[in-house]
Amino acid sequence: MKITSSIRDTEMQVTAYEKSWMDGVVYKYDDKCYTPIEHVAAIINMCRKVNGNILEIGSNTGVTARNLAMNFRDRIVYAVDYIGRNRTMCPDQSDENPELEVFKDCEDEPNVVCLHAKGESIRYDALVEVGAIFIDGGHTFEEVKADTMNALRFFRTKGGLILWHDCHQDETWSGVHRYVSKTHPEAKLIEETSVAYLFIQGSWLDSKHPQ
pLDDT surpasses 50 at 211: no
What is the pLDDT at residue 159?
A: 94
Q: How many CB atoms lie within 10 A of CB 29?
A: 16
End-to-end CA distance of the chain: 14
pLDDT of residue 21: 79
Is the pLDDT at 161 greater than 70, yes or no? yes
What average pLDDT does this structure show over 52-74? 95
pLDDT recorded at residue 157: 87
Calpha distance 174→54 (Å, rounded): 25
pLDDT at 171: 65
pLDDT tens digits along 102-146 = 899 999 999 999 999 988 889 999 999 999 999 999 889 999 999
Give me the architecture of the 13-200 domain, per CATH: 3-Layer(aba) Sandwich (3.40)
Predicted structure pTM score: 0.85
> What span, in angstroms and rounded, lies between the C-alpha atoms of 199 and 110?
28
pLDDT at 168: 84
CB of 61 closer than 8 Å to CB of 102: yes
Torsion, CA 115, CA 118, CA 121, CA 126, rounded to 10: 20
pLDDT at position 25, please? 83
Cβ burial, residue 116 (10 Å; 0-12/13-18/19+)? middle
* pLDDT band at 2; cut points 50, 70, 90: very low
Instruction: Calculate mean pLDDT across residues 148-169.
Output: 93
Angle, nearest 10°, between helix axes 141-154 and 174-183? 50
CA dihedral (14, 15, 20, 25) in degrees, to 10, reads -100
* Residue that wins the pLDDT comparison between 207 and 134: 134
Q: Residue 1 pLDDT > 70, yes or no?
A: no
Query: Residue 99: pLDDT above 70?
Result: no
pLDDT for residue 76 is more than 80: yes
**Per-residue pLDDT for 91 more than 70?**
no
Give the mean pLDDT of the chain: 84
pLDDT band at 49 (very low <50, low <70, confident <90, very high): very high
Per-residue pLDDT tens over the stretch 176-198: 999 999 999 999 999 989 999 99
